[in-house]
Structure 1
Amino acid sequence: MSDDIKKIMFTVRNAPHGSIYVYEGLEVKLIMAAYDADISVVFMDDGVYALQQGQNTTELGIKGFEATYGVLVDYEIDKVYVDKKSMEDRGMTVEDLVVIGEDEDTEEPIKPTVIDADEIGKMMAEQHNILPF
């Protein structure tokens, strides 16, 4: 990777409903994917709920965005991570996570990668910018 390519990490710490942070963050990620940047996304704290599949937002009167997460890989956003402790503290497992795309060769579904806090810290230290949502 060239030194002039910016590394941008999005951190998602807020629950997906009750504020616009997660939805607006998703929109920004898709827009940023059009630029020549190395994008990564880390879901932690209540942000892990944004990755929970099968959310029904009908009674909230808002549009769900699970399907949009399902095309992140199509937008070349394949560095999607979830904090292991945050997920476990909320009773979630890898099976609960949404699919973020499909492997081009095998057509197997791709889910976010579960990592621990040490790995997140190392990744953060390598970023040019960190954008919280």
Structure 2
Amino acid sequence: MPKSLLVISRQAPWSGPSAREALDIVLAGGAFDLPIGLLFLDDGVFQLAVQQNAKALQQKDLSANLQALPMFGVEELFACAESATERGLDPNGLALQEAQALSAEQITALIDRYDQVITL
């Protein structure tokens, strides 16, 4: 049985390649039916902000990749509620409706559920 993998995305979509790399890992894992989850933590919650204008920052828009996650079988999507609130985002009004807002305690339990964890 394949080991489960949790990818923790901690970077804003415009701060470098880490956000895109995290999504690429998750999409590849989903394509191969790997038990995989994605947690948006710290500045990573900015990837879930509504109405981003990537072109204004001369960046590629990640929203299409985010919307494709469920089509690739990636259904374990999470966001840190505290990180969202600290950054002025509504944890229950994020662009990716499938992402479940979690408390710090719930995140600790979530990490313990997975065999392997990658943080980007």
**Distance in 2, Cα, partners of 1:32 & 1:44:** 20
Which of the residues 90, 102, 108 maps onto 1:115?
102
Matched letter for residue 63 of structure 2: E
- Structure 2 unaligned regions, length at least 5: none
**Distance in 2, Cα, partners of 1:89 & 1:18:** 18
**Distance in 2, Cα, partners of 1:87 & 1:60:** 21
Equivalenced residue count is 119
Once the two structures are superposed, the pairs formed by residues 1-133 of structure 1 within 5 Å of their partners are 4-93=1-90, 94-95=92-93, 97-99=94-96, 110-133=97-120
Identify, as 1 or 2, the structure richer in helix.
Answer: 2
**Distance in 1, Cα, partners of 2:33 & 2:16:** 29
Provide, for residues 32-78 of structure 1, a one-character-per-residue CA deviation record: whole Å limited to 9, x for no partner.
11223211111111110011121101122221011221121111111
RMSD: 1.2
Query: Residue 116 of structure 1: CA displacement?
Result: 0.7
Matched letter for residue 17 of structure 2: I
Does structure 2 conserve the Cα–Cα contact (< 8 Å) formed by 1:10 and 1:132? yes
Identity over aligned pairs, percent: 24
Query: Residue 5 of structure 1: CA displacement?
Result: 2.9
**Distance in 2, Cα, partners of 1:127 & 1:115:** 16
TM-score by length of 2: 0.92
Does structure 1 conserve the Cα–Cα contact (< 8 Å) formed by 2:33 and 2:73? no
Three-state SS of the structure 2 residue aligned to 1:63 is: coil
Please tell me whether Structure 1 or Structure 2 has the larger radius of gyration of its CA atoms. Answer: 1
Q: Following superposition, which runs of at least 4 residues in structure 1 exceed 4 angstroms of deviation? A: none
- Structure 1 unaligned regions, length at least 5: 100-109
